[in-house]
Amino acid sequence: MNVYIRSIGAYIPENRVTNDELSKTMDTSDEWIKSHTGIEVRHIAADGVTTSDMAVSAAKLALERGGLTAEDLDMIILTTATPDYIGFPATACVVQDKLGAKNAGAFDMVAGCTGFIYAVDNAKNMILAGTAKHVLIVSSESLTKISNMEDRDTAVLFGDGAGAVIVSESSNDESSIENAILKSDGSGAEVLMRKIGGVKYPFEDGKTTFNDTALYMDGQAVYKFAVKVNTELIKELLERSNLSIDDISWIVPHQANIRILQAAAKRLRIPLEKFYFNLMEYANTSSASIPIALNEMYEKGEMKRGDKILLTGFGAGLTYGGTIIKW
């Protein structure tokens, strides 16, 4: 049996904020953001629009394109760093209800920005094991809602959005989900985190502020980690799959910072043109960034069935991972 990505969808908030607009309220500039990250614009979800709302919009498009209804789904895996509620209930369950996916199990998967890659391999294995026939993966992130707008080191980097795919059994081998590498290095847990609000560092009445609960990142530590693991993942995935870079149509990396990919491409001697980027328009949307990029490629006709696409990601955990799909 073969398992493949049957269809794809995404949701991007309408509110488009340029670097120049951001620099009106923050001590930053278009020149700094572009030269340090490649980011030019981010999309920001309106107040009141939740992670589950964006997930539902992306999921509906993927279902429609896949010729399925919500009732055909056996499982919903939602990846996010910004759930509707802290800890529980899972945002996946909220999405299940909003979609009317009454036959589906639902759970959240927390693997930072690598969430989509972890979810693809898990969905594939659920189908191979006979647990499910159709799995919805939806990666939805409201990062601007957990950003500390007084911290220019992080606030300029993130955007909101959602991407969704339907993973199904296939009767032929034209399209498939192939090798995956899923890894973590928890010694880096505190370099990228939301510190306050869990059991280790609880809220303190009258003391905890919003910014204490916001996203914190040691940018340089993450940068070094990201260059190293992106390089290793691409090399190892090609080796394990017995493929050369010429067999791959696109590398679609987690869209965090163009400099990370430039450095990895240089180390691997792979032309930068092999990498698909759209971080210029959407900034870093964490686990949603890869399915948002794939959806854009699909809509622009940049990939066709049978093309081999290599995905890589890294993020909070620290987690990292990659997979090769035959689109």
Residue 254 φ/ψ, nearest 5 degrees: -55, 130
Q: Which two tokens stand for residue 200?
A: 């280790």
Choose between 157 and 180: whose C-beta lies nearer to ligand ACO.
157
Distances (CA, A) of 45 to 11, 90, 194: 10, 20, 20
Nearest to 75 by CA among 52, 99, 51: 99
Work out whether 19 is an interface residue with ligand ACO (CB under 6 A).
no
144, 160 contact by CB (below 8 A): yes
Other C-beta atoms within 10 Å of 236: how many? Answer: 14
Map residues 187-216 to x or -, x wherever contact with ligand ACO holds by CB under 6 A: -----x------------------------
C-beta of 226 vs 233, nearer to ligand ACO: 226
Helix then strand then coil, in percent of the chain rounded to 5, is 40, 25, 35
Give yes or no for residue 315 binding ligand ACO (CB under 6 A).
Answer: yes
219 binds ligand ACO (CB under 6 A): yes
Q: Cβ 73 to ligand ACO, closest distance in Å?
A: 28
- C-alpha closest to that of 326 among 120, 182, 136: 120
Cβ nearer to ligand ACO, comparing 61 with 256: 256
* Residue 134 falls in the annotated catalytic set: no
Alpha-carbon gap, residue 45 to 160, rounded angstroms: 6
113-152 binders of ligand ACO (CB under 6 A): 113, 152
Segment near ligand ACO (CB under 6 A); pick from 30-38, 68-76, 119-127, 195-203:
30-38
Residue 208: CB partners within 8 Å, gap ≥ 6? 196, 197
Q: In angstroms, give the least distance from the CB of 67 to ligand ACO.
A: 33
Catalytic residue among 230, 257, 284, 295: 284
Mark whether 93 is an active-site residue: no
Residue 222 lies near ligand ACO (rule: CB under 6 A): yes
Where on the chain is the footprint of ligand ACO (CB under 6 A)?
28, 32-33, 36-37, 113, 152-153, 156, 192, 217, 219-220, 222-223, 226, 256-257, 260, 284, 286, 315-316
